[in-house]
Amino acid sequence: MKEKRLPLIPKHILKAHKVNEPSDHRFISVARLLQSLWREERNLPIGSYRNPKGQKRRLGSRLSMDSGKRGMNFLTPEIAKLVYREYVYQEIGALIDEERLWTNLLSSQPLCFNLFGGLKLDEEKANRFFKSLFPDYVQSVEGIYFEHSPARGNPDYTHDYTAFDVFIECITPNGESGHIAIEVKYAESMTEPLAQLRPRYDELSRQSGLCKDADAKELRQHPVQQLWREHMLSRALVQNGRYDSGRFIVIYPMQNYLCDRAVKSYQKYLISNEPSESGFKTLTLEDCIAAYREIGDLDMVDALYGRYLDFERVEDVIFS
């Protein structure tokens, strides 16, 4: 990009690529157009969207269901096969939305698999990747799980169905058992529907010792409630003896300013900004791609960047 900020895309360009969504914030508008361009460049059939009123229309950031079921939402055939297996053997109570998974190019759910699926298929590569991202915390990776909750509905934890997008079991450099619980965002605004507040959240917030004020009402509201719940679940896994330590990680694109604002707002409530103390850390999608570059997987660097972050292509369309 020649400019640091993302462009405000003229309406006629959005309409031409079937991505004119008036409610989109600036990042999602740019990301939606990028996904449409990615689909068009591969001659993949356009999909459709049905709005809350039941009206159906074509949308450039969607694949046809036929293409989706053939795994075209994923970067490699190997990842697509893994996704199908993960879908078939999903955990009881897991919330895997078929439409989002197979046909929604903009969704963070397929992004999770594109970002981490290849690592589940290659143990040695997974070790190098996570040691690159967390050199102070990961000695070896013991397992990678998707849409995972170690304790769905368990009253000793969050007593709900809170889950992590990706969950890594690891051995730390000092030989202890650890985990990395990951929430992945792409175009989200952090204003998604709130979970119903439960008495257990209040108890766990006080027990966890994560926040300066465990009873702060802001923790129970947008844009940080989801982060608070998942962070408490990660800490509860340690306090209940499942792991010796844990980290809760939020990953999002650097230029998604709404995600950036939300995580920075949440960090203000934490007892410390040091991951070794709070168990909380943020990474950008750019950081993850840089880790792939560091371990020498340049094909994945190109594939991830081209699919999710190459906003110069949007700029080229605007000024061509």
Domains of the chain, residue spans: 74-302
Residue 49 has pLDDT above 90, yes or no: no
Arithmetic mean of pLDDT, 175-179 = 98
Q: What is the pLDDT of residue 55?
A: 81
Arithmetic mean of pLDDT, 28-40 = 98
Nearest to 100 by CA among 66, 128, 62: 62
Mean pLDDT, the chain, whole residue set: 95
Q: What is the pLDDT of residue 311?
A: 97
For residue range 270-281, what is the model confidence (pLDDT) as tens digits? 999 999 999 999
Q: What is the pLDDT of residue 93?
A: 84
For residue range 305-315, what is the model confidence (pLDDT) as tens digits? 999 999 999 99
Q: What is the 3-state secondary structure (H, E, C) of 83-135?
A: HHHHHHCCCCCCCCCHHHHHHECCCHHHHHHHHHHHHHCCHHHHHHHHHHHCC
Q: What is the pLDDT of residue 1?
A: 61
In the block, tokens 């993302």 appear at 6
For residue range 50-109, what is the model confidence (pLDDT) as tens digits? 877 788 899 999 999 999 999 999 999 999 999 999 999 999 888 888 899 999 999 999
Arithmetic mean of pLDDT, 30-55 = 93
Q: Would you give the distance in Å from CA 126 to the centre of its chain?
A: 18
Residue 303 sits at φ, ψ, to 5 deg, of -65, -45
Nearest to 248 by CA among 231, 226, 269: 231
Arithmetic mean of pLDDT, 178-184 = 98
For residue range 219-249, what is the model confidence (pLDDT) as tens digits? 999 999 999 999 999 999 999 999 999 999 9
For residue range 105-115, what is the model confidence (pLDDT) as tens digits? 999 999 999 99
DSSP letter for 267, please. Answer: H
Q: How confident is the model at residue 2 (pLDDT cuts 50, 70, 90)?
A: low
Q: What is the pLDDT of residue 50?
A: 83
Arithmetic mean of pLDDT, 5-21 = 96
Q: Give the three-state DSSP class for 33.
A: helix
